[in-house]
Amino acid sequence: MISAPASGTGKTMLMLGLLTALRRQGLTVQPFKSGPDYIDPGFHLAASGRASFNLDAWAMEPGRLIAHATGQPPADLVLAEGSMGLFDGVATAGETGIGSSAEIAQMMGWPVVLILDVGGQAQSAAATARGFATLRPDLPFAGVVLNRVASPRHDRLIREGMDQAGIRVLGSLPRQGNITLPERHLGLIQAEETAGLQAILDHAGEFIAAHCDLEAIIAAAAHRALPEAPAPRPLTPPGGRIALARDAAFSFVYPHVLEAWRRAGATILPFSPLADEGPDDGADCCWLPGGYPELHAPRLAACNGFRTAMHRFAATRPVHGECGGYMALGAGLVDADGLRHPMLGLLGLETSYAKRRMHLGYRRAEPLTALPGLGRVALRGHEFHYATVLSQPDAPLARVTDATGAEVPETGSRRDQVTGTFFHLIAPASA
């Protein structure tokens, strides 16, 4: 488990560098992502050549976590990238826990490699490392990688402290060599949008290989016998042939959801709204994932072929949108400059980015009407966007609560066979 004391400390850079460096050595590495992030797995795929899957202790029951961890093709090594700080999560436990990376590492027996930003300190960094290594005695801990090391003298001082604290140093990354990836308001720019991504990955791989003890990191890998757990509730596909919007405006969908649909026998039929394409006429349902429709609103508004095809499709078959896809199904979207762009008009939803307000957190939804493939089973998901709702005149789709059980006003919408939610589906709830 690649983790850190806090966000912004270098987890993703270390993760991508390790994936690239180990792949160059001929190792097959299976990546995972702890938590509800849907951008990092795309970078993991680019670096490792293998699909990366989310492991979420709040939204997934033990059986689903175990199935995801053990159900992938054989690999030489597993690397999981944590989220936030190692022990960070929500206040109230969900399916398995509070959603922390530590819970995943502890359950699977995956030793933690902690990356520490040591800028502005020396021997004191050992106190932080020792605290993380000993807070939970049964959490396996491999050692630390030092980040933003200023000089050889700085490195020696930090290592002295780590030696006294009994903490193994697995790497030391000089400050001048740090690697950055472009960011946007939801986090990183998507992998497929990142210009020169292969050059960035090559640099990261060379940097990590030069400054980390790869053999020691590989040797530290371990696991434990997993507990017995009931099989997870099936993540039933919404149809046998699913038309899936897939382009720069619609790309946020969890890999494990698509995998579950395929394993259940569904066929995924991608199409590009930005190319003015509509859903395949042979599909029996249509799914618009999240993404960045606000960045492409003028272009989407001009895609009359897409609009006509969606109205024709929705007249006879179910259509569902998540977050950005939900906004695209609405009547209009106001961009950051205050300009309104007409959307599909299949729902009455009006949203605006002129006054941004962050909506972030886990969601539990109890549908008020049957959803294709899922019926009225309670669902767990995650919401993250900056849109403000100006109007939502349609019937609510579900009763939605946050991780503490408090109701949230973003209930989703339904009109005839068209539905939408601001949260991204992770899994059916077991309770």
Q: Nearest Cα to 111, choosing from 223, 27, 28, 14?
A: 223
CA angle, residues 337, 339, 345, in degrees to nearest 5:
135
Contact status, residue 154 vs residue 118, Cβ threshold 8 Å: yes
Structure-token match 């095809």, residue found: 309
Q: Is 323 a catalytic residue?
A: yes
Active-site residue, selected from the candidate residues 212, 286, 303, 323: 323
Count CA atoms within 13 Å of residue 396 on its CB side. Answer: 11
b/e code 368-391 from CB counts within 10 Å (16+ = b): eeebbbbeebbbbbbbbbbbebbe
Q: What is the rounded CA–CA span in Å between residue 195 and residue 17? A: 17
Q: What is the rounded CA–CA span in Å between residue 28 and residue 76? A: 5
Q: What is the rounded CA–CA span in Å between residue 361 and residue 265? A: 31
Strand pairing report for 319-322 and 413-415: unpaired
| Distances in whole angstroms, Cα of residue 104 to Cα of each of 1, 3, 132 | 8, 11, 15
Tell which phi-psi region holds residue 393, choosing left (phi > 0), alpha (psi between -120 and 50) or beta: alpha
Cβ-proximal residues to 153 (8 Å cutoff; 6+ apart), any chain = none
**Strands, DSSP E only, in 77-188?**
77-81, 112-117, 141-149, 169-174, 183-184, 187-188
Q: Nearest Cα to 399, choosing from 363, 367, 424?
A: 367
Give the catalytic positions in this structure. 323
